[in-house]
Amino acid sequence: MTIKVLLIAFIGFGGGITVGSGLVALITVLGIVPRLMQLSKTYSFIRSYELSIILGAVLGGWMNLRNASFSFSPIILAPVGLLAGIFVGMLAAALTEVLNVLPILAKRVGFGEKIIIILMAIVFGKISGSLFHWIYYINH
């Protein structure tokens, strides 16, 4: 029993280290914090940015493990969901821009001059997938 618990703890710790390293690598590659400081001209708040990222990751992980749930009215949830969707979309767009995925894909497929078609397909696919997910799970 003790070996089983230690093995599970070791696997969980290893998974956490892996995911945490990936998050740090993503934030570093995208240059989110330096770009945010540059745009907002808040270089003196670098420790606050670092602390908020760390606290957000730790509290988000803890709440996920505790299966925490909150009950808010749809009036509050709609703007929060919209902002969360915008954040995820912008993060995905920034990652794609950094890795130059879309230009490479467009050239290989033969759509070099019609990259807007690929972008619109991705946008409408994300929108329809999100709407299907939320409508289906709300009604079932």
pLDDT for residue 132: 85
Q: How many CB atoms lie within 10 A of CB 96?
A: 15
Residue 31 DSSP one-character state: T
What is the span of the domain harbouring residue 31? Answer: 2-65
Say if residue 50 is in the same domain as residue 18: yes
- The mean pLDDT value of the chain amounts to 80
Q: What is the mean pLDDT of residues 31-55?
A: 83
Say if residue 88 is in the same domain as residue 108: yes
Q: How many CB atoms lie within 10 A of CB 93?
A: 14
Quote the number of domains for the chain.
Answer: 2
Say if residue 61 is in the same domain as residue 79: no
Q: Is the pLDDT of residue 128 over 80?
A: yes
Say if residue 88 is in the same domain as residue 59: no
Contact 33, 53 (CB under 8 A): yes
Say if residue 61 is in the same domain as residue 93: no
Instruction: Give the model confidence (pLDDT) of 88-105 as tens digits.
Output: 877 777 766 666 766 777
Say if residue 24 is in the same domain as residue 49: yes
Q: Give the residue from 65, 88, 110 where a domain finishes.
A: 65
Say if residue 45 is in the same domain as residue 92: no
Q: Is the pLDDT of residue 78 over 80?
A: yes
**Token duo for residue 95:** 């990652």
Distance CA 128, CA 140 (A): 18
pLDDT for residue 96: 67
Say if residue 87 is in the same domain as residue 108: yes
Say if residue 81 is in the same domain as residue 114: yes
Closest C-alpha to 20, from 59, 68, 57 = 57
Find tokens 């709407």 and name the residue. 131
Q: What is the mean pLDDT of residues 4-30?
A: 82
Q: Give the residue from 45, 65, 85 where a domain finishes.
A: 65
Distance CA 87, CA 98 (A): 16
Tell me whether residue 27 is exposed, middle or buried, using C-beta atoms within 10 angstroms of its C-beta: 0 to 12, 13 to 18, 19 or more: middle
Q: Give the residue from 41, 65, 89 where a domain finishes.
A: 65
Say if residue 97 is in the same domain as residue 134: yes
